Chain A
């Protein structure tokens, strides 16, 4: 719901009902051509999911990659703090 913080709903699921085996619940999607390597997404991620990638886009910027995608809890802080509409989070599957 849009109450409380009023912010866009985070996509976390209920820890009580999560199955015990570790499966990625969320997928972090990067749009490489939009990235400008500002580093903010990597910096704000509370679970250290992202790392600066080895590949560069056509403008020479090294875009982030989800190095630990299983750890993503779907808080979308990377998405909210990206200035370039270059990264977003969706439920996996």
Chain B
């Protein structure tokens, strides 16, 4: 809401319903719209429609709902619609354990939609960060005219912590930049700068065409290789080449470290404790904690692990982000530390596993 959210459409799903209910109480009083749709498919499509009518729009769901939203997400990507999609991971597959946590969907959020694209995925580890990264998610969505995924999990969703909320005047909100040409010349999919096209809304007299088919800069269906290649390359590059607006990492004691732990989200809370524990024993251990999983920030990871011999990738899944780390750190020993736990894995469960490799 601090970021200017004014439209939420959703469907009840554990553990995301609380978010929905909170907004249902608060947002209409601030002039916003909150509506429960008949399913997640209706919800994501309504959010996209609202964005094109000028709203700052969001939905929230979990694994099974995200699966239903994937086609809609593809529509948002192809039409370059700014929106925020909160995915509160819960144990799967399928209905799984609705009330318990996991980190198993980190690849789903990046690759679930068909076609060529890239998408920003932010991954907070605390209630404070959930607030800050939610604002950032909206800013990225506007700056790059893209959907953005805010990825949390059941454990984090039920975490109670102090949050410092800045005065609204002090929060940096990225506003929409209006079209850079008059209606007769404006092209909805022609980038003005940074590979990002400006956005006109319904009702402004631009006669826009929001188009799911592969299109030219005006949105007209163009099934020829040249136009198609230009489009998909720009969709990917728009995110990847602007990753500096997305990626951010916390590095704790990584300088000169012999061992670096890579961890994110709720699991990183325990990993942080493990670093402290091992440091007390004299080991030179550090923590690299990405706040954005995608685009994958290879550069920062390489720099942070420069001195490391071994990199432990700690995840509450059977080994997902470790694949990216392995791909990027070819000259290091990368060790997957997969701790499946329906709650946040406790630090000693993680350190016990790590010690086997020290």
- Consider the complex of A and B and state whether they touch directly, i.e. have CB atoms less than 8 Å apart: no
Q: Which residues of B contact A (CB under 8 A)?
A: none
Q: Which residues of A contact B (CB under 8 A)?
A: none
